[in-house]
Amino acid sequence: MLRNRFEVLRPAGMPVLAALLCLCACKEGGNGPEPGPRPGTEPARKEVLSAAGACVQTHAKAFQVEAVELESTTAALSASPEAGKREAARAAFHRAMDTWQVLEAMQIGPALPRGQPGGAELRDNIYSWPLVNRCAVEEQIVARGYESTGFPTTLVTRRGLYALEYLLFYEGGDTACATSSPIVSGGTWAALSAEDLQARKRAYAAAAAKAVRERADQLVDAWEAGKGDFVKTLETAGSGNTVYPSVQMALNSVSDALFYVDREMKDMKLARPLGLRDCVAESCPELLESAFAGRSKANLRFNLMGIRRMAEGCGEGFSGKAFDDLLEDVGSGPLATTLRGRLAAAETALGAVDEPDFAQALTQDKASVRAVYDALKGVTDILKTEFVTVLDLELPQAVEGDND
């Protein structure tokens, strides 16, 4: 890894010894100016930032289109509970979630929590997983909280795509709330008739879909030229930029998004259900991401698509400027090739899971799910070591110290 870092700093044609002497001079000159941009890399870094911004904007607009359709179909279902309208709303949910799961791997700027560079908390307001609470949704059903004018700003566990999944797909009449919950201790849940429960779910779904569409609009506006224009914020990183005072800071923020593959995909979506962590049984399928729509495998597939578009390119066949091109620009072509190979291997491993969802696969062929985990670990092993070292990036705080 040390050799790779020197290769980053050594211009083409410069002898290794000369590059080392130059590096030492830069390191030892404590009172001197900060080192300037790495020769030959600054234009490439700017291109990666521009391409990343354009990629997020494209997918945000695609999600907005699906969010509009989801709002329309849930409103129609609320007005008339016909089976065909329920199926239309469910199909719209699947399309919206397909698009959103790609964006899950593109959490930059406005999608991030407040306090992060450019953060506006839009991601959690659309999809808060793993911060979810079925009981909170059921309490809202009883209280008709979805009818309140303040519903769009209530706790994220009561709305968003998670609430919509439960409302559209779960047909049971039981509650996940404990006996301490007012809807159980007070008997208000039990007092709901089956017809009233379903009617409230439909109305709730329509309100939740409307709130999601409004947040989708905000996300698009945040990236749109003449409005939030966060694409320009990324492109103009450097002196005078209040969000990203340096190109390196902006690049770090974009690279942080890649680590969704480590924290959420590998550890939470796979390791926990596989019984590798936070599970005392041989496996814990109840910890899978999609409990009601049965799309935990599909979610991971679209997550991986998002990761590849950020790492390899957002164009057809993952073409276009991205981090692999930046690695090649600094003389680490073999590492770029390895990264692409491991991402493709992860996709192959995912495709080898025959069952339609991980819930079935954990029972029928657990080894195939473990193979996906191992393939993703192959990706994260690179990201945590050579990748950040060669590009002089910092690991996200949530990943530092995690040797898994």
- Residue count of the chain, please give it: 404
Summarize pLDDT for 343-374 with one digit per residue, the tens: 999 999 999 999 999 999 999 999 999 999 99
pLDDT of res. 403: 62
pLDDT of the residue at 55: 98
Residue 94 half-sphere exposure, CB side, CA atoms within 13 Å?
14
Q: Give pTM, 2 decimals.
A: 0.89
Residue 16: pLDDT over 70: no
Q: What is the pLDDT of residues 299-345, one digit of tens each?
A: 999 999 999 999 999 999 999 999 999 999 999 999 999 999 999 99
**Residue 3: is its pLDDT beyond 90?**
no
CA–CA dist 165, 73 (Å, integer): 14
Q: What is the DSSP letter of 158?
A: G
Domains plus CATH for the chain? 42-235 (1.20.1420.20), 259-390 (no CATH)
User: Could you give the percent of the chain with pLDDT greater than 90?
Assistant: 87
Helix, strand, coil fractions of the chain, as percent rounded to 5: 65, 0, 35
Taking only the tens place, the pLDDT of each residue in 136-156 is 999 999 999 999 999 999 999
CA-to-CA separations, 234 to 13, 134, 402, in angstroms, rounded: 31, 37, 29
Please give the DSSP secondary-structure letter assigned to residue 321.
Answer: S
The reported pLDDT for the residue numbered 401 is 58
Closest CA to 381 of 366, 398, 399: 399
